[in-house]
């Protein structure tokens, strides 16, 4: 045996007879193709209706190639079906690659045009589509051709035209936006009513852009985006703007930058207020800031917060009344699981003292008393001396080792 015989490629055995779907271009068995094609055509109709008008295609026609003696030629049938599926692809104007119309917008979100390369790639894409059309004309008869691409669809292969929602700032198609806006406004009202009063906003009004020749799409989108941006609220710590419902989430992790590090006096587990943060609460609730220079622009006052006397965490004035009963119930459950020597007496809610001059209660004094009540429940570790809640002390002592 010669040396060349070892270098020859291994030719796989002939595949069983298969058929190519003229819609999606995938291969199926001769029995499966009959089940697949009706479902694939139904799916094609659903996806085609969702596309912008410039990307919608006429229904592809199933090719019927026959040999000269009238018999069924599988190879020619597969070739014609493959050409039919390829004829539905549209080129990306950035890279020239071809995609099904429903996948093209997804691809274009991440495909960025290269400098000075749009023209050649775009022309190559058009040539590729035209060549596929020519091959269809030469390989099959006029009656069996899938008439799925026209010159207009090639010319209008640009990114689908979209409109901006004036409520959420997202982009939608011209048909989808009228369906989206009423639902988005209903969702906005639901979320707005759940916010604290100081963060609630008036209902946004849809901009009415009118020009001499009618408002252009760019002007409409710009006005809608400005309406959306007007609803954003700046963070009192970092100055970044957020939707009011997201601002509360952001501020849980956004800390005020100070010249000296924040020194925590105790550790209360998950997200508990430190002594330095307690001072920040006082300044925030009184509307002052310790480190804001005079030349900084005015920022929106952060909502007033109240400290829970059980866990020491901060809550809004409306949320604290919902949280405290649940926190006390959780406290009883955890306290009953502790060893007897670690079980504590039920914490007492500090009394609210009214300010005689105004008739309102002193929020700073209330927060200070609640903070002291939460600290009183801490137990020191007999190894390192740090303070913990009793249920966390056991966990801490598993890894705490005495220093040598």
Please check the confidence at residue 166 and state whether its pLDDT lies above 70: yes
Average pLDDT for 157-180: 79
pLDDT-above-70 percentage for the chain: 66
Across the range 177-200, mean pLDDT stands at: 85
Question: Is 351 a residue whose pLDDT tops 80?
Answer: no
**pLDDT tens digits, residue range 288-335?**
544 544 454 555 556 678 888 888 888 888 888 898 899 899 888 888
Give me the pLDDT at residue 157, please: 43
Residue 131 has pLDDT above 80, yes or no: no
Q: Which residues contact 19 (CB under 8 A, 6 or more apart)?
A: 27, 28, 29, 30, 33, 74, 77, 78, 81
Segments making up each domain of the chain, as ranges: 15-155, 162-231, 262-399
Q: What is the mean pLDDT of residues 105-115?
A: 78
pLDDT digits 0-9 by tens, 32-64: 888 888 998 988 888 888 877 777 788 888 887
Across 119-123, 281-285, 346-350, least confident range: 119-123
* pLDDT attached to residue 85: 79
104-108, 133-137, 164-168: range with lowest mean pLDDT: 133-137
- Give the pLDDT band (50/70/90) at residue 82: confident
pLDDT at 209 over 80: no
How large is the average pLDDT for residues 215-235?
81
Of 274 and 81, more confident = 81
Which range among 124-128, 135-139, 144-148 shows the weakest confidence by mean pLDDT?
144-148
Average pLDDT over residues 67-71: 59
Task: Write out pLDDT tens, residues 364-391.
Answer: 788 888 888 888 888 888 888 888 877 7
Identify the top-confidence range among 260-269, 272-281, 284-293, 296-305: 296-305
Average pLDDT over residues 246-266: 63
Of 114-118, 225-229, 291-295, the poorest mean pLDDT is in 291-295
Q: Would you place residue 343 in the very low, low, confident or very high pLDDT band (cuts 50, 70, 90)?
A: confident
In terms of pLDDT, which residue wins out, 187 or 198? 187
């Amino acid at each position: 045996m010669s040396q060349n015989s070892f270098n020859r490629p291994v030719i796989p055995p002939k595949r069983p007879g298969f058929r190519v779907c003229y819609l999606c271009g995938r291969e199926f068995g001769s029995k499966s193709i009959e089940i697949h094609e009706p479902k694939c055509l139904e799916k094609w109709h659903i996806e085609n209706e969702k596309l912008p008008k410039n990307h919608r295609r006429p229904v592809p026609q199933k090719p019927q190639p026959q040999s000269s003696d009238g018999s069924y030629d599988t190879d020619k049938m597969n070739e014609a079906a493959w050409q039919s599926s390829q004829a539905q692809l549209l080129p990306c104007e950035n890279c020239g690659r071809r995609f099904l119309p429903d996948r093209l917008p997804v691809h274009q979100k991440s495909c960025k045009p290269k400098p000075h390369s749009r023209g050649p790639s775009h022309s190559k894409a058009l040539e590729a589509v035209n060549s596929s059309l020519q091959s269809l004309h030469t390989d099959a008869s006029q009656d069996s051709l899938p008439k799925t691409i026209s010159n207009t669809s090639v010319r209008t292969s640009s990114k689908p035209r979209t409109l901006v929602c004036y409520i959420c700032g997202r982009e939608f198609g011209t048909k989808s936006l009228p369906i989206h806006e009423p639902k988005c406004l209903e969702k906005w009202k639901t979320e707005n009513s759940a916010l604290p009063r100081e963060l609630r906003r008036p209902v946004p009004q849809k901009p009415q852009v009118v020009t001499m020749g009618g408002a252009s799409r760019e002007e409409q989108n710009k006005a809608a985006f400005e309406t959306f941006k007007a609803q954003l609220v700046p963070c009192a710590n970092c100055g970044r703007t957020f939707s009011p419902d997201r601002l509360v989430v952001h501020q849980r992790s956004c800390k005020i930058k100070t010249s000296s590090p924040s020194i925590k006096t105790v550790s209360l587990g998950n997200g508990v207020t430190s002594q330095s943060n307690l001072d920040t609460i006082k300044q925030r609730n009184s509307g002052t800031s310790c480190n804001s220079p005079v030349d900084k622009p005015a920022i929106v006052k952060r909502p007033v917060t109240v400290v829970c006397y059980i866990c020491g965490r901060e809550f809004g004035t409306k949320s604290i009344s919902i949280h405290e009963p649940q926190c006390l119930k959780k406290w009883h459950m955890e306290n009953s699981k502790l060893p007897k020597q670690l079980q504590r007496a039920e914490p007492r809610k500090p009394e609210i003292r009214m300010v005689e001059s105004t008739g309102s209660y002193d929020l700073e004094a209330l927060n200070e008393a609640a903070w002291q009540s939460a600290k009183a429940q801490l137990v020191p570790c007999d190894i390192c001396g740090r303070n913990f809640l009793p249920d966390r002390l056991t966990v801490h002592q598993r890894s705490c080792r005495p220093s040598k």
